[in-house]
Amino acid sequence: MSHSKTALVTGGTRGIGYGIAEELASAGYDLVLGYQKNQERAQDAKENLEKTYKTRVFLVGGGAEEEATVDAYFSCIDENYGGKLTALVHNAGGYLGGTSPGKPDANGSWFQGWEAYEYYQGMYPKCFIRLVEKAVTRMEDERGYIVGVSSPGCNNSCSPLLNYIMPGISKSSMEYLVRHYAKQLAPRRITCNVVIPGYTKTEAWEPVLKEHGADLIESRVNSFGMKRWGSPREVGGVVAFLCSEKAAFVTGVALPVDGGLHLR
């Protein structure tokens, strides 16, 4: 069975990305899912999606910050879907070294150095530009959807997080690019939006809970809005909406999906 809609989701085999993939698959999308290096986990995701939703899923490994990986995404689309793409979701992310800095340096600076700057610039705005510039040549007018995934504190809807400076300035650049491409692509009626998940329960939180203590993190979650974690499927449902005809008149927005975190 081949569906008539195709989506590329970077970082689509675990966490929020997998929740997005599930929701898109349930809405009738065939998928290309990017993953970094956990091939076994990616294969499990592929098999679960194909079995549950009777959809076609192709996997592409490699760091999203690498240009060669982006090229591989689109080679996969060209080879398996005839060069046609309906939706692009840039969800991939990560921390250089596996964790965010826990404290500033002796001078009170949170700046992590230029290596970190280049890594996050590659992961977010550079990758987003590479993805969009290739995606729009494969999208039909009036039938194209682009979604970026950002974080709280990367725009003026939420206070900036000091220890998040490196990924934060990179994601805020991506948020600007979303508005730029929304304006550029509006005449083609291709939409471009960004979602901003709040505290979403995924395994990515495990090292944070271990480092800072589960009680501290839980107290944060209970201190704002709905006082609970979000789920990957809740984020995925919003992304799937933005990748549907129901959202054809929504473009250039940064939409918190955070249970009220941005209201604190």
For residue range 159-168, list pLDDT tens digits in order: 898 988 999 9
CA–CA dist 10, 147 (Å, integer): 11
CA–CA dist 11, 26 (Å, integer): 18
DSSP element (H, E) containing 197: strand 190-197
> What is the sign, positive or negative, of the torsion defined by CA atoms of 238, 242, 245, 249?
positive
Q: What is the pTM of this model?
A: 0.95
Domains defined for the chain, CATH in brackets: 5-204+232-258 (3.40.50.720)
CA–CA dist 88, 128 (Å, integer): 10
The token pair that represents 247 in the structure block: 């959202």
Mean pLDDT of 182-199: 97
224 or 100, higher pLDDT: 224
Question: Can you give the C-alpha Rg of the chain in angstroms?
Answer: 18
CA–CA dist 128, 108 (Å, integer): 31
Mean pLDDT of 191-212: 86
Answer yes or no: is pLDDT of 26 > 90.
yes
The three-state secondary structure class of 193 is: strand
The token pair that represents 252 in the structure block: 């250039």
Answer yes or no: is pLDDT of 206 > 70.
yes
Residues in the chain: 264
| Angle at which helices 232-242 and 15-26 cross, to 10° | 50
The token pair that represents 246 in the structure block: 């129901």
DSSP element (H, E) containing 196: strand 190-197
Q: What is the pLDDT of residues 53-63, one digit of tens each?
A: 999 999 999 99
